[in-house]
Structures are given as structure tokens and as C-alpha cells.
Chains A and B, each alone.
Chain A
Amino acid sequence: MASETFYEVMRRQGITRRSFMKFCSLTAASLGLAPAFASKIANAMETKPRTPVIWLHGLECTCCSESFIRSAHPLAKDVVLSMLSLDYDDTLMAAAGHQAEAALEEIKKKYKGNYILAVEGNPPLNEDGMYCIQGGRPFVEVLKETAADAKAIISWGACASWGCVQAAKPNPTRATPVHKVITDKPIIKVPGCPPIAEVMTGVITYMLTFDRLPELDRQGRPKMFYGQRIHDKCYRRPHFDAGQFVESWDDDGARKGFCLYKMGCKGPTTYNACSTMRWNGGVSFPIQSGHGCIGCSEEGFWDKGGFYNRVTNINQFGIEANADKVGGTLAGVAGAAVVAHAAVSALSRARSGKTEQGEK
């Protein structure tokens, strides 16, 4: 039986052609594209069957799956029922054992070269890979076999992107991020522990809508969500610039919502969308709820000193130390810190421009 296209799915859900076209122009506009793109989007949606997705789990804690189902727009339900075809995901699928393995084999064969592989967690390489066993075999084997015929790979979360907690020193199982095991496929890293739900569904819908990978930065992360630091867009930033800091938990500054920099906030060195998109449908984000950012979308964030140590300890951003020393007294020097931020952003822009062609 022929597979249903995205457009057909929307039509039978009672959406008129007119609304469908409107949806396409809105999508184009919200992604910052010229109006001409609307018809391209419409065309893509009218003709494509739902893209099959295989979602594998290595060493992880399932926080990425949990985050994914929290997506408010689009709803996780609509993503799974109408936008893509989640044909293998051991956390959600009805089948188990042989029937689950048969499903995996069938999808790999039927949609060879056309499915998206989403990986949550990572493969451990010590002990011949047997720290993570799936179907009696090392997970790393399943990963390699499934990656071989995938169109593209999404590395969900800090585990798949960087290694995360099980790869923190001394990394006893030699937990290894996906891109170090699979080197011949386009990989989109969507880091965070977990990533924001709407970032996850945003990346997926972008790929389905435009039939291409999102623009990636030097480290393989979508620029649209990971292009700026938490600190750049933090609503408490004016307090940083004004030298108003929380000095101790539950002090007057904490109650007034002052800057958490001195409490160890990693916002100044963390690239993520938390301070703009916020969490769980925009309700809050760590800094708004009184705790500093722990930097969970950055590589090796577990090994960059304690979560309550100031980021002055982080060498590559040494310039921030100056801001700390004087930020409380001299607004003029805090201004210099802003310039320093800008320089760092410009630098990473330049770097990403240099390598992104190679990744496409």
C-alpha cells in the first residue's frame, strides 16, 4: 500500500488546502526564508511519504526520549503519528525480542539509504563492547550496521554528541560518542542533557520540511539553536553588566533574581537556546529558577571543574576572568566583557564558515 504523504495526513486531519498553504508560508517565515520557499515546502510535503526513523539506544539514561515526548509544538503525538514513521525505538515500540529485531531488519532493507538514524546514548568500546548488549551482541555492532544504510544520523543529547556522564573521567567503559565510531555519514549533534524538547522536534521538522540538514557549526551542531551562548541572551544579563550578583544561596540577591555568575553559572561558556526558548513550553530555564547553568550541552562539561566554581577556571575563556574581577565595580570594564563576548562569537562564526562546506 502506498505510504501517505505529509500533505495527505494534514488534509485528512481536516486541514484545508488554503490553511495548508498558509502553514507553509508561516513555516518559511518563521525559519527566516523568502516567501518563495513556501511553495517548495508545500511541494515537499505533498509528495513525500513519512520518513522512516530508527531510534537506537546505547549507554544513556533515556532523558532524551523523555524530553522529546514533552514537545509542545509540534506535539510528540503528531510527530510520531503524522510527520515521520518511528519504525524502531525500543523505548516505545510494542514488539520486543525477535519481533523487534525483525522490524529493524525490515526497515533497514526496505528504506535502504532513506531512513534517518537517531541515536540516544553511545557505544562503550571496552570489553569488546559488551558493556552494552542488544540482542546478545555488542551495541556498537548494531549501531554500525544500522548507520551503514542511513541517510543521516542525529546524535541526540550529550551522550551521543560528546559522551556525557559515563564518559566523564576516567570513562571506565570507554563510552564513545557516535561521530568517533561512524565517520562516513552526515551527523547532526543535538547536545544537552537532555536537549530542549522543541529543539529536538525543531531539528527533525527542519529536516523533513527542507529535505536537508540544518546549517551546522564547526562542531556539528545546528546553528539556529546552538549559535549563541546562554549568557548572550540571559534575562539576568543586565544584573551581570551592573555588577549585581547572588553571593550566597537564598540571599537578597537570589530573591531579587540577580546574576548567578559568582555561584558558578556556566552560561557565559555554554552554547544553547535555554535562555531564549526556555524549557517545557517556555515555563522557565535553570537560571530563572535560581540555579546556575551547569553547561550540559558543552563537550566534557562534567570535567571542567565543579558546578559551583566560577568559569574563570576555564582557560580558553580567560578573558572572562577580567569581567569577574571588575564586573562588580566598573561598568566600563563590564562593557569590555561584552566586546570580548562578541569577539568570541565572531571567532566561532569564522571557524564554522571554514569547515561547514566540508560537512555537506
Chain B
Amino acid sequence: MAAYETQGFKMDNSGKRVVVDPVCRIEGHMRVEVNLNDKNVITNAVSTGTMWRGLEVILKGRDPRDAWAFTERICGVCTGTHALTSVRAVESALNIQIPENANTIRNIMQLNLYVHDHLVHFYHLHALDWVDVVSALSADPKKTSELAQSISDWPLSSPGYFRDVQNRLKKFVESGQLGPFMNGYWGNPAYKLPPEANLMAVTHYLEALDFQKEIVKIHTIFGGKNPHPNWLVGGVPCAININDTGAGGAINMERLNQVKSIIDRSREFIEKVYLPDLLAIATFYKGWGFGGGLSGKNMLSYGDIPQRANDYTAANLLFPRGAIINGDLSKIHEVDLNDPEQIQEFVTHSWYKYPDETKGLHPFDGITEPNFELGPKTKGTKTRIEELDESAKYSWIKAPRWRGNAMEVGPLSRMVLGYLQPKQFPFIKETIDGVLHKLDLPVTALFSTLGRTAARGIETLYCAKLQTEQFDKLIANLKAGDSATANVEKWDPASWPKEARGAGFTEAPRGALGHWIKIKDTKIDNYQCVVPTTWNGGPRDPKGQIGAFEASLMDTPLAVPDQPLEILRTLHSFDPCLACSTHVMTPDGSELTQVTVR
């Protein structure tokens, strides 16, 4: 590849190549390669999905009512969101109307996923990119306590409390068995927090680990377990019984009280721990404005959380829908999952085969035939890759485009689209303005790694608020005498048309998620998913346009070139989910010989 320019980035792969594989603290398997110039600034970035599972062909010929369970297993981190997308796709194909309570319970479960997933992402997958655990050992617990109390009235903040955690940490480090902290980038100059802020953050890392298991109990109540709760085409599987005999076997007052209690405690944790920590960390990093990538240029959201059941128009959604292209923030384009011109996937640089690889295909007509071949400039062998050749095929992820544009999806896209529509989303606008004011930053500061991380926190607060509102809505509907949770009119496949097709969507925590289903003779004829990390992590297209991951790494300086701290920081700000992005498979799906290999 010669040097070239795309989307405002100057790509040049002539400098020193740095390979990071595995990229850890993500879901699934991923590799990234970058080139550095003589100032250790990234001049070329290559993002590679390194796993492939093939769920769509496995779905072929199966009962559409079972599809949610299969697709749910695409990802155990954003558990439930694929299942919800799937039941919506089937309901769209068969024109099934779900009861109001089912819509509300699904909303509560989806919002509950957001609250859990974003919190765990911030503390357990992302924090160590900003927080130096070893530095926390030299913190003064008294000063840590003062810091904590100055930013929040969260009660666990005494000097003794922080001293205990610090002692536990010291003993842990002194044991010589560092566990997950082994070989971390401790002491790297790209870490900017003072020891006290580090100790506070590490303490909350542990607190959040204890607390997160409480949040998911809402899934357990409505769906029976978490990860991977149960869903139902036509509604939700949990019946409601508030007044009658046998209420103990259904959703009753005790269950509802437990849901309410979890919603309240989650909101408190977000308001008093997560957001204050986020702001405190941002204060020290606000000078580090790298990682914007495609944000501010091309952003996409399908929207989610329908206020009223069965109405999926943008005006009825509590998460914004729309697309922004070419950096024109004044124009929000309408998004239609059924329009063959809008969403298309390319495979020029993916390990798949199309009859004509210069063209993209809409998911209803998607082809996925694997074709694992490495380019001529690859260093190493097929099974021992040292450096990939990005001028050829280099990823198990396809490259989706919206009207030909590479797009960023996820919390930042959603929050920006909400910010730009303050009449429909006043809370988003006010919260973002509040945060920017506190940090004394302009709105353009959102278009960065830090902005992406902040948007996720702001969104978590929004979700916590919506959870309360949706719960109140459920209670109001029950008060009005409606306790229906499922519509079984079309449960029997005999009632279905001979052929049907539909698209279902959600906003997964990581971004826009769509499932496209074709049903024929009551079985699945074709099933395609385009998922958030396909949008963000996909490779180049025939025009050489780069995806969101690659764009976000461009022009970032590394403090220590053989320690990929800044690379991890920016990639993690997207919360990559590789099992999601790389599950597609050939449509012919012939039976393969079973061989036991030793």
C-alpha cells in the first residue's frame, strides 16, 4: 500500500509496525496492527476480527420462534439484546402485535442491560487504561478520603476504608502473584492520575465488581437467569398475577418490589460512584484529545426503547434514530433498515467471497462464503501470522456502509444524535451541557476517546432514569387492570403465511444492531445480523475507506512505543465485542464430516 488519503486521514504504512494480539479486556478475539512514524505517532491502523462462528447458517431451517435463543448466544456480555432484536424481527415478519406490558418489561430488561454493561465496561474493561493500580499503593488514604468526599456523598469514603483497600492491595502485590494485573503498563507516562485518584478508582473497581451482580437480578426476575435470560415471540414469558391464587408462581408484588429496589440502588450507584469517578478521571485527561476518528463526521443510530408498544417510528423511541454524514451536524438523515440502498456490506478486505467484490449487498440479499486467504505482503505463514497485508483480505469482519459511508455507532453516536434533537431528548442535552460545563470543555471535545467514554456514562444515567419511568408505566398499566404479557394469536405456525420477511432492530450497548429474517414454510430461510462491532471494527471497503476503530487510532502518539496503552485506551472506548461481529456464515451450510482430532 502506498500512502493515500481517505476521509481526512493520511494513511502511511512505511514506518515501524507494532502488533497487538490479543487485544485483551474485550469480548472475543481481536488483533490490531499500527505503523508509527519517527515521532511514535500512528500513521496507519489495521483492525482485524480474529474469530468466526457461523450462527446464521446454523439458524437456517429452524423454527423462527427459537431464533432468539440462538442469536442471544452471539454475545453473553450484551446478553439479551440479540434475543430482543430477534423476537422483533420475527414479529415484524409475521405482523405480531405485543401487549403493552410486554413492551414495557422488554424495555426495562434492555435498559437494565445498559446499566450493567456500561458500568462493568467502565470499571472492569476500561478503567485500567486510565488508572495505574501500582500508583494507588503510594496514595495517602486520608487525602483519598478528602478527594472522594469532595466529589460525592457516597458513604463508603472514610480514610480507614481506603486504607483497608490499600492494605489488601499491598499484600496482594507483595505476594508476588499479581493475577490479572501482571505485566500491566504501570508507571507508563501516559497515566496521568495522582495516587489518590488511582486508589479511589481501584477501590470502586472492587465495589463495582461486588455491586454489578445485583443489577442483573431484574433479568433473573423477568427472564429466569442472567446471563442469557429467556424471551418469547409475541410478548414475554413471565405471566403477571397481582391478585389471584397462585401469585407466588408469577410476577407478583414481591417481585415488583425487588425490581424497584434494584432500579433505585443502581441509580444511586451511578449517580454517586460511576459519574463522579468519570468526571474526576476526565479532569486529569482532558488535555488528551485523541481518538475522535469518525465521530463528528459519520454517526449512526437505529434508536430503541419504544414508548408505546408496536410503534417503531423515530418519534416513539426514547433513544434517538438517525444518521449524520460528512460532519454536517445540521442534517439528521432518516434511517430505514428495509431500504436496499442504505445498509450494505462489503467483503473486499474480509475473509469472504462475493461474485462481485466491488459491490455491497443489503442484508436481505447477503452472501457469506468464507475465503481465508492472506495477501502477498503478509509476513509469516497461514497459521503463524506475524504481520498482515491490509492491501488484501485481513479480517473475519465484513465492512458495512450506510449509503456508502463508514459509520461510528454506539453511545457517542446516540448521545450526539440526542443532543442535536433537544426537543425530543431534553435530558440528554441538559446532561451533556452540564458535564461539558463542569469540565470547561467545548462541545467538540465529545469527538474523542474521552468523549466516547463520557457519553457512555451520561447514557447510563439516562438509562437509569428511563428504567424508573418504565417501571412506573408498568405499575400504571397494572392499576388500569391490564396484566396481559403475551399475544398467542400467531403462536401456531399453521397461522403464518407461506413466506414472510422482516427486520428487527435494537440499540445494543455498543451500537446499532439489526437482524433480517426470511421465513418460508414456517422455517427460517435466511437470517442475517449486522452488529455494532461490525460497523465500528470492520476493515476497509473497495474505496479504501477505513472503519471507526482504524480511524480512531490515527494520529495518536504513543508515550512508550512497545507499550500499547493508548491503543487499548481508544479501542476500549468503543467496548469492542468480537463474538458479535464475526458470526456470519455461508448460506449453503453443507454437513461436514465429523472427525475426532487428537
Hey, which bits of chain A sit against chain B, CB under 8 A? 1-4, 9, 12-13, 49-50, 52, 57, 59-67, 69-72, 75-77, 80-81, 85-103, 106, 124-139, 141, 164-166, 168-176, 180-181, 183, 193-194, 197, 236, 248-250, 254-258, 274, 279-281, 283-291, 294, 296, 302, 306-308
Contact A97–B58 (Cβ < 8 Å): no
- Within 8 Å of chain A (Cβ to Cβ): is B39? no
Contact of A99 among B238, B485, B563 (CB under 8 A): B563
Known: A130-B372, A136-B380. A92 touches B29 (CB 8 A): no
Which one of B210, B220, B238, B380 has the highest number of Cβ atoms from chain A below 10 Å of its Cβ? B220
Contact B177–A3 (Cβ < 8 Å): yes
Contact B370–A127 (Cβ < 8 Å): yes
Contact B179–A256 (Cβ < 8 Å): no
Contact A284–B220 (Cβ < 8 Å): yes
Contact B597–A125 (Cβ < 8 Å): yes
CB distance from A283 to the nearest CB of B (A): 4
- Within 8 Å of chain A (Cβ to Cβ): is B24? yes
- Within 8 Å of chain A (Cβ to Cβ): is B544? no
Contact of B79 among A63, A130, A135, A164 (CB under 8 A): A63
Hey, which bits of chain B sit against chain A, CB under 8 A? 19-29, 31, 50-55, 57-58, 62-63, 65-66, 69-70, 73-77, 79, 120, 124-125, 128, 133, 167-168, 171-172, 174-185, 206, 209-210, 212-213, 216-217, 219-230, 232, 234-241, 244-250, 258, 370, 372, 380, 382-386, 396, 483-486, 488, 491, 562-564, 568, 579, 585-586, 589-592, 595-598
Known: A3-B177, A69-B209, A93-B24. A136 touches B386 (CB 8 A): yes
Contact B184–A95 (Cβ < 8 Å): yes
Q: How far is the CA of A88 from the CA of B178 in the complex (A)?
A: 10
Question: Which residue of chain B is the closest to A128 with respect to CB atoms?
Answer: B383
Q: Count contacts between A and B, CB distance < 8 Å.
A: 357
Q: Which 10 A-B pairs have the closest CB atoms?
A: A257-B249, A63-B76, A256-B246, A94-B184, A286-B224, A289-B224, A291-B237, A291-B230, A136-B385, A133-B50
Question: Which residue of chain B is the closest to A81 with respect to CB atoms?
Answer: B172
Q: How far is the CA of A168 from the CA of B29 in the complex (A)?
A: 21
Q: Provide 11 A-B residue pairs closer than 8 Å at the C-beta atoms, listed in order of the A residue.
A: A66-B76, A91-B26, A95-B182, A165-B55, A170-B592, A172-B586, A279-B226, A283-B220, A289-B238, A290-B236, A308-B65
Contact B241–A280 (Cβ < 8 Å): no
Contact B74–A61 (Cβ < 8 Å): yes
Q: How far is the CA of A164 from the CA of B597 in the complex (A)?
A: 18
Contact B27–A62 (Cβ < 8 Å): yes
Contact B51–A131 (Cβ < 8 Å): yes
Contact of A66 among B206, B224, B227 (CB under 8 A): B227
Known: A103-B182, A254-B239. A138 touches B213 (CB 8 A): no
Which one of B168, B210, B224, B246 has the highest number of Cβ atoms from chain A below 10 Å of its Cβ? B224
Main SS at interface, chain B = loop
Known: A125-B597, A168-B70. A250 touches B235 (CB 8 A): yes
Q: How far is the CA of A135 from the CA of B21 in the complex (A)?
A: 5
CB distance from B387 to the nearest CB of A (A): 9
Q: How far is the CA of A306 from the CA of B65 in the complex (A)?
A: 9
Contact A134–B220 (Cβ < 8 Å): no
Q: How far is the CA of A90 from the CA of B20 in the complex (A)?
A: 13
Contact B53–A62 (Cβ < 8 Å): no
Contact of A3 among B24, B175, B206, B225 (CB under 8 A): B175
Contact A250–B210 (Cβ < 8 Å): no
Q: How far is the CA of A175 from the CA of B206 in the complex (A)?
A: 35
Contact of A249 among B25, B57, B486 (CB under 8 A): B486
Question: Which residue of chain A is the closest to B578 with respect to CB atoms?
Answer: A62
Contact A91–B224 (Cβ < 8 Å): no
CB distance from A46 to the nearest CB of B (A): 15
Q: How far is the CA of A102 from the CA of B238 in the complex (A)?
A: 48
Which one of A62, A94, A183, A257 has the highest number of Cβ atoms from chain B below 10 Å of its Cβ? A94
